[in-house]
Every structure is written in structure tokens, then in C-alpha cells.
């Protein structure tokens, strides 16, 4: 339980800061951040990053990225947020996993990636998370910001909020391109 608390704090901090912050004033010079869940492509509107020391386990980095405005104008699927947490071992390849896997193995390159859809509407939302193994690439730009890319990897429906989204599938493929 002691190891879970810092990781959960980093995750919740990233989500909280992303919800109350406007677009970063300095856009990335490394291209736009996009992600695709199923057939819908979402574009970064705002993001927040935090790195928190974890007692005896290094540093935990959390990134939350969200759409803005109509969130792609996909009806009930409009708006999306991606949350990413990992024990920060620098740039490189990270294996997709769960929070429990990450906490149990703080010295390994495990990354937790979740994607919520329906965040730009008030009719319901769905959180998708780890389903199958995948490998994400973590890079760092010249300003010191971490960027994450993930080839198409299957995520599974984890939580429905406000009744969820009618017609939302149990699984979708998620692809991240330069998310930061």
C-alpha cells in the first residue's frame, strides 16, 4: 500500500491539473500531439505534467492530455483525455501495464496509459485501460518535456461514468503520436 500512494497521487495530480489549465503557452516544436481511439482522432488542447519523488523508488512522472472545445465533434464520443504514469527511468521503451504492475516493479520500465472518451459532452463517458501487452516509446524534447508514442494497442473498457456511452465497444485500439 505504501508504494501505491505516491503513484496514485501523481496520477490524480496530473488529472486535476489538466482539468483546470488552459493550453500551454509554448507549443511543442516537435509536432502536434494526437491520439486515436477506434475510428476517432483527438488533438491535444491542453496538458499537464508532474514528477513526484517516490520514497526509495525514484521519481514518478504523470502526464494528462486533453482535447479542447468540441473535442473532435464526434457526438457522444466527443472529447478525450489520456493519462500516463510511469516510474521515470528516462527515455526509452516502456512496457504497457497496470498501476499494480508498475507499483510491484518500480525498477522496470512499465507505463500506465488510460484513455477516457466523452469528456466534451455531459451524456456520459467511458474509461479504457490496459488490456494487452504493448510497448510505448518515451522521448524528451529540448525543453525537457516527455513525449509518449504508442503503436496501435488494444484497451478494454474499465469504467463507465454517467451511464457511459451507448454503443461504446468493450475494446478499442489506441494509438498515441507524440503525446505530451
Pick from 85, 132, 129, 131: nearest CA to 110? 85
Q: Give ∠ CA 108-129-167 in degrees, rounded to 5.
A: 165
Q: What is the total count of domains within the chain?
A: 1
pLDDT tens readout for residues 103-147: 999 999 999 999 999 999 999 999 999 998 899 999 999 999 999
* Whole-number pLDDT of residue 28: 42
In angstroms, the CA 54 to CA 152 distance is: 30
* Whole-number pLDDT of residue 135: 97
Q: Which domain holds residue 21?
A: 4-179
What percent of the chain is modeled with pLDDT above 90? 78
Query: What backbone torsions phi and psi does residue 7 show, to the nearest 5 degrees?
Result: -65, -45
What is the pTM (predicted TM-score) of this model? 0.84
Using the structure block, give the residue that is written with the C-alpha cell 513526484: 52
pLDDT tens readout for residues 20-57: 333 333 444 445 899 999 999 999 999 999 999 987 77
Amino acid at each position: 500500500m505504501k508504494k501505491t500512494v505516491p503513484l496514485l497521487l501523481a496520477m490524480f495530480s496530473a488529472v486535476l491539473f489538466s482539468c483546470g489549465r488552459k493550453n500551454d503557452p509554448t507549443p511543442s516544436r516537435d509536432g502536434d500531439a494526437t491520439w486515436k481511439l477506434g475510428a476517432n482522432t483527438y488533438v491535444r488542447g491542453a496538458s499537464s505534467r508532474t514528477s513526484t519523488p517516490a520514497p526509495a523508488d525514484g521519481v514518478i512522472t504523470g502526464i494528462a492530455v486533453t482535447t479542447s472545445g468540441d473535442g473532435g465533434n464526434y457526438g457522444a464520443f466527443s472529447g478525450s483525455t489520456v493519462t500516463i504514469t510511469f516510474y521515470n527511468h528516462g527515455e526509452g521503451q516502456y512496457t504497457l501495464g497496470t498501476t499494480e504492475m508498475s507499483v510491484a516493479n518500480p525498477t522496470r520500465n512499465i507505463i500506465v496509459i488510460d484513455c477516457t472518451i466523452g469528456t466534451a459532452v455531459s451524456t456520459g463517458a467511458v474509461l479504457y485501460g490496459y488490456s494487452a501487452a504493448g510497448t510505448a516509446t518515451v522521448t524528451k524534447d529540448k525543453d525537457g518535456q516527455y513525449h509518449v508514442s504508442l503503436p496501435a494497442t488494444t484497451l478494454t473498457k474499465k469504467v463507465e461514468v454517467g451511464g457511459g456511452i451507448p454503443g461504446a465497444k468493450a475494446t478499442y485500439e489506441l494509438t498515441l503520436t507524440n503525446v505530451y
